[in-house]
Amino acid sequence: MRYGHFDDDQREYVIDRPDTPLPWINYLGTDAYFGIISNTAGGYSFYRDAKLRRLTRYRYNNAPLDVGGRYVYVRDDETGDYWSPSWQPTPERELTGYECRHGLSYTKIASSRGGIRAETLYFAPLGETLEVWRVRVTNDRDTAAALSLFSSVEFCLWDAQDDATNFQRNYSIGQVEVADGVIYHKTEYRERRDHFAYFACSEELAGFDTSRDAFLGAYRGYDRPAAVENGVAGDSIAHGWQPIGSHHVRLALAPGETREVNFVLGYAENPKDAKFDPPGSQTLNKTGVRPVIERWLRPETVEQGFAGLRAYWDDLLEKIQVRTPDGDTDRMVNVWNAYQCLVTFNMSRSASLYESGIGRGMGFRDSNQDLLGFVHMVPERARQRILDIAATQKETGGAYHQYQPLTKRGNNDIGEGFNDDPLWLVLGVGAYLKETGDTAILDQPVPFDNAPGSEVPLVEHLRRSLRYTLDRLGPHGLPLIGRADWNDCLNLNCFSDTPGEPFQTTENAHGGVAESVFIGGLFVLAAKEMAGIAALHGGDGEKYRVAAEKMAGTVAEHGWDGAWFRRAYDFHGNVIGSGENDEGQIFIEPQGICVLGGVGLDDGLAVKALDSVAERLATPHGIVLQQPAYSGYRIELGEISSYPPGYKENAGIFCHTNPWIMIAEAMTGNGDRAFDYYRRLNPSAREAISEVHRCEPYVYAQMIAGKDAPTHGEAKNSWLSGTAAWNFVAITQWILGIRPEFTGLRVDPVLPEGWTGFEATRRFRGTTYQIRVVGAGRVTHLEIDGARVEGNVIPLAEPGAVVRVTAFA
């Protein structure tokens, strides 16, 4: 069952009924000012850091799930009837023609009631720290209409964690100011935190409210605000409690008339050198923001700003466009998967319907993997991201697991000890170099742990990443896992010093001897990448190739179980992910990553491992993480076994891992299987089963419930997942085979049966390549602007050139 459809020309997903199985969200903002917005206008906004600079309040896990957002109310002043055109928060009021269009960094929600149509466009213009709500109200009646329009946001007292917990303080600190019709939220301004929010309206106001109690009325919710019901705002000024922003505007519309009313919600700071006169005064920088507000309330500016945003996305997406025999592939590659990748660049794992914006900083491994999916769109920003991440690395080569986006400092709450973390930096840098050829980055001085004076060239950080693994090998010569590897929940050093007393501390987790076959495979992959990087840097990659071979040998010796790769050895030396185990016999991760590292490609082990995946792990909804699921909690395995069977790491379809198998299948030449797995996860291909999948059909989710779960096929945790980047890599670089390499662009498709080619446009290092693949097999030669070239690598062309390439397969 569908709840909407794709409008491919507009690059929009159109939701045509508001009661989607879950809130289907979208993101506003492209740089510093961001927001999430659902199909019923729920969500919140923040400046840079969803934890510390939250502009508007959102109550997670609410009932209904998604109430609280950017609401507009329309009131018929003749009858007193009122409603919200976004359905929430007035779902009892029946609407006609509801439509939500989620586009690239904007959302439009429209509906009608009683012959009055209202459409709100929400977006955050490029280069500004604000969002615009463009409301268009049309009188479709044949009589005049006297209407009221109310806006509403509930301000968050900036620190979202405190805001949701520290009420003994919060109820006394809220402060607002209203001047010239602009509502300023200035809580905490006294402490010279120097930031404030403003909320403005393009029309003359009939009134306003800034106190939630005054606006809603005691014991009332957003479904029936007293001010709206009575058609009169209270001009209230909040003192503590819950500051809100609401404007009241009266509109008299002739039959057929449309009026545009704009609202601007923004974030501002005083200039750093602002003088306080008298000292301690709370003079807001109103004169500074006033021109910005005035500009963005003007319809022409809004029009231009919106056009600018559309052009920005068109330009980014042009980097890769494909035309294949499969519409779901085209739609995801050309628009939605790329879009999701850039959202993960902006958000990491911070703010979504599932990530509260307060819980997690930027992940070291996560951000490096996200980079694989967006580096081609925003290479300069990817460069900065790499330098930021590397600057959190420690001298040992170890990494903080996360860092805070605002301070860019390593996050001590979680510390280090996820022993795979450092290796992902090598892969991130490798991807950047392949895309850009910018070898100068390798010489860029980068500190350790942000300590001034500790700078070394970036390439030294990479060396230390590899060293970190080699310095920590276990009894079988495999890498020590530490607290966990990619699989955060596989905590194999969960031993207890006192028998019968389970506990895990950071210290003993570090000291534990549990080993990871996965990190072994990842090391092989990263060391080979490093060999290529070293060669680019004028050095000799040989020692990394030797280290890779050695580790590959250890993986084959101690990590092979007969028909698949083992997963790990626990603290006691017991094997995990083996036929010897009663549960958790086979795990997906090492089958993918070892093959990506090239282990088993020459001797048939890879094909065997992939056959085992097909036989034991694949389901119609994707490939589960392991089998059989753990039926009970096991202290020696940790969190993984805390999940009920079929969910998350305990045999859920952890979507991030599936593309590794797609790539591995492509590497062994099995295009059919690779593409079949690709389609099982492709959200657009799952659109028709939205009532089962339940999450948005335009983006990947982190997890789909596995076959052991009662809700098999149900997705959760959409948007912020490495699934986005890896699926993008799998389809574009391995199945369609258009793959940046250190020396040029390779065209090496491994296509499913029945395809006889496809077309693609790829902008690479300043050149536009128009690629046509002809045939169903492996590429034997190319024709580049009419000249025959053997093999499948397109030699680098002049930047600015448009090059026609035909690949004969």
**125 contacts 296 by C-beta, under 8 angstroms:** yes
In the complex with ligand BGC, which residue's Cβ is closer, 326 or 589? 589
| Contact track, ligand BGC, 595-634, x by CB under 6 A | ----------------------------------------
Identify the H or E element spanning 422: helix 421-436
Name the segment binding ligand BGC (CB under 6 A); options: 118-126, 190-198, 358-366, 747-755. 358-366
In the complex with ligand BGC, which residue's Cβ is closer, 126 or 414? 414
Taking the complex as a whole, the smallest distance from the CB of residue 406 to ligand BGC amounts, in Å, to 20
Position of minimal CB gap to ligand BGC: 488
Contact between 584 and ligand BGC by CB under 6 A: the answer reads: no
In the complex with ligand BGC, which residue's Cβ is closer, 486 or 587? 486
First to last CA, the chain: 38
Which sign does the torsion angle of CA 498, 499, 503, 504 carry?
A: positive
In the complex with ligand BGC, which residue's Cβ is closer, 209 or 649? 649
Rule CB under 6 A: choose which of 69, 207, 363, 600 binds ligand BGC.
363
Determine the length of the chain. 809
Name the segment binding ligand BGC (CB under 6 A); options: 361-369, 450-458, 606-614, 729-737. 361-369
| Rounded (5°) CA angle 82-84-85 | 120
The single residue listed with the structure tokens 């077309």 is 759
Name the segment binding ligand BGC (CB under 6 A); options: 305-313, 487-495, 592-600, 796-804. 487-495
In the complex with ligand BGC, which residue's Cβ is closer, 638 or 749? 638
Binding-residue total with ligand BGC (CB under 6 A): 9
Name the segment binding ligand BGC (CB under 6 A); options: 117-125, 225-233, 362-370, 763-771. 362-370
Candidates 555, 544, 568, 525; CA nearest to 425 is 525
CB atoms within 10 A of CB 180: 10
Taking the complex as a whole, the smallest distance from the CB of residue 542 to ligand BGC amounts, in Å, to 32
Q: Going by C-beta distance under 8 Å and a sequence separation of 6 or more, which residues neighbour residue 165?
A: none
In the complex with ligand BGC, which residue's Cβ is closer, 377 or 625? 625
Contact between 212 and ligand BGC by CB under 6 A: the answer reads: no
Q: Going by C-beta distance under 8 Å and a sequence separation of 6 or more, which residues neighbour residue 189?
A: 175, 195, 196, 282, 284
Contact between 483 and ligand BGC by CB under 6 A: the answer reads: no
Contact between 365 and ligand BGC by CB under 6 A: the answer reads: yes
Q: Going by C-beta distance under 8 Å and a sequence separation of 6 or more, which residues neighbour residue 218?
A: none
Name the segment binding ligand BGC (CB under 6 A); options: 59-67, 471-479, 481-489, 556-564. 481-489
Amino acid found at 747: V
CA dist., res. 309 & res. 698, Å (int): 20
In the complex with ligand BGC, which residue's Cβ is closer, 418 or 675? 418
Q: Going by C-beta distance under 8 Å and a sequence separation of 6 or more, which residues neighbour residue 214?
A: 227, 234, 236
Residues from 276 through 295 that contact ligand BGC (CB under 6 A): none
Does residue 326 have an active-site annotation? no
Please give the C-alpha separations between residue 176 and each of 155, 171, 244, 266, in angstroms, as whole numbers: 10, 13, 9, 14
In the complex with ligand BGC, which residue's Cβ is closer, 57 or 483? 483
Contact between 366 and ligand BGC by CB under 6 A: the answer reads: yes
Candidates 435, 57, 368, 117; CA nearest to 241 is 57
Name the segment binding ligand BGC (CB under 6 A); options: 175-183, 360-368, 566-574, 704-712. 360-368
Taking the complex as a whole, the smallest distance from the CB of residue 490 to ligand BGC amounts, in Å, to 8
Rule CB under 6 A: choose which of 326, 435, 636, 649 binds ligand BGC.
649
The pair of three-digit structure tokens given for residue 806, joined into one six-digit string: 């035909």
Taking the complex as a whole, the smallest distance from the CB of residue 364 to ligand BGC amounts, in Å, to 9
Contact between 125 and ligand BGC by CB under 6 A: the answer reads: no
The pair of three-digit structure tokens given for residue 654, joined into one six-digit string: 């952890």
CA dist., res. 222 & res. 90, Å (int): 8
The pair of three-digit structure tokens given for residue 274, joined into one six-digit string: 């602002």
In the complex with ligand BGC, which residue's Cβ is closer, 26 or 657? 657
Instruction: Spell 633-651 as b/e; 16+ CB within 10 A means b.
Output: ebebbbbbbbbbbbbbbbb
CA dist., res. 13 & res. 665, Å (int): 31
Name the segment binding ligand BGC (CB under 6 A); options: 245-253, 310-318, 483-491, 787-795. 483-491
- Alpha-carbon torsion, ordered 639, 640, 644, 647, to 10 deg: 120
Residues from 331 through 350 that contact ligand BGC (CB under 6 A): 349
Taking the complex as a whole, the smallest distance from the CB of residue 592 to ligand BGC amounts, in Å, to 13
Contact between 512 and ligand BGC by CB under 6 A: the answer reads: no
Taking the complex as a whole, the smallest distance from the CB of residue 626 to ligand BGC amounts, in Å, to 12
Name the segment binding ligand BGC (CB under 6 A); options: 117-125, 381-389, 484-492, 772-780. 484-492
DSSP β-bridge partners for residue 515: 480, 569
Taking the complex as a whole, the smallest distance from the CB of residue 613 to ligand BGC amounts, in Å, to 18
Q: Which of the residues 162, 488, 570, 748 is marked catalytic? A: 488
The single residue listed with the structure tokens 């395809």 is 755
CA dist., res. 755 & res. 324, Å (int): 8
Name the segment binding ligand BGC (CB under 6 A); options: 130-138, 363-371, 680-688, 767-775. 363-371
Taking the complex as a whole, the smallest distance from the CB of residue 378 to ligand BGC amounts, in Å, to 21
| Contact track, ligand BGC, 737-756, x by CB under 6 A | --------------------
CA dist., res. 17 & res. 165, Å (int): 35
Contact between 414 and ligand BGC by CB under 6 A: the answer reads: no
In the complex with ligand BGC, which residue's Cβ is closer, 42 or 482? 482
Taking the complex as a whole, the smallest distance from the CB of residue 327 to ligand BGC amounts, in Å, to 30
DSSP β-bridge partners for residue 4: 15
Rule CB under 6 A: choose which of 40, 56, 465, 487 binds ligand BGC.
487
Taking the complex as a whole, the smallest distance from the CB of residue 173 to ligand BGC amounts, in Å, to 34
Rule CB under 6 A: choose which of 489, 535, 556, 692 binds ligand BGC.
489
| Contact track, ligand BGC, 294-333, x by CB under 6 A | ----------------------------------------
Amino acid found at 538: G
Candidates 334, 297, 296, 294; CA nearest to 317 is 334
Contact between 488 and ligand BGC by CB under 6 A: the answer reads: yes
Taking the complex as a whole, the smallest distance from the CB of residue 363 to ligand BGC amounts, in Å, to 5
**494 contacts 544 by C-beta, under 8 angstroms:** no
DSSP annotation of 660: H
Residues from 84 through 103 that contact ligand BGC (CB under 6 A): none
**324 contacts 298 by C-beta, under 8 angstroms:** no
CA dist., res. 394 & res. 66, Å (int): 41
Rule CB under 6 A: choose which of 13, 486, 564, 769 binds ligand BGC.
486
CA dist., res. 200 & res. 178, Å (int): 10
Taking the complex as a whole, the smallest distance from the CB of residue 235 to ligand BGC amounts, in Å, to 47
Locate the DSSP E strands across 482-541.
Answer: 515-516
CA dist., res. 306 & res. 121, Å (int): 9
CA dist., res. 69 & res. 29, Å (int): 16
Taking the complex as a whole, the smallest distance from the CB of residue 600 to ligand BGC amounts, in Å, to 23
Q: What are phi and psi of 234, to 5 degrees?
A: -95, 0
In the complex with ligand BGC, which residue's Cβ is closer, 148 or 411? 411
Q: Going by C-beta distance under 8 Å and a sequence separation of 6 or more, which residues neighbour residue 624?
A: 588, 617, 646, 651, 652, 653, 654, 706, 707, 708
Catalytic residues: 488
Residues at the contact surface with ligand BGC, assessed by CB under 6 A = 349, 363, 365-366, 486-489, 649
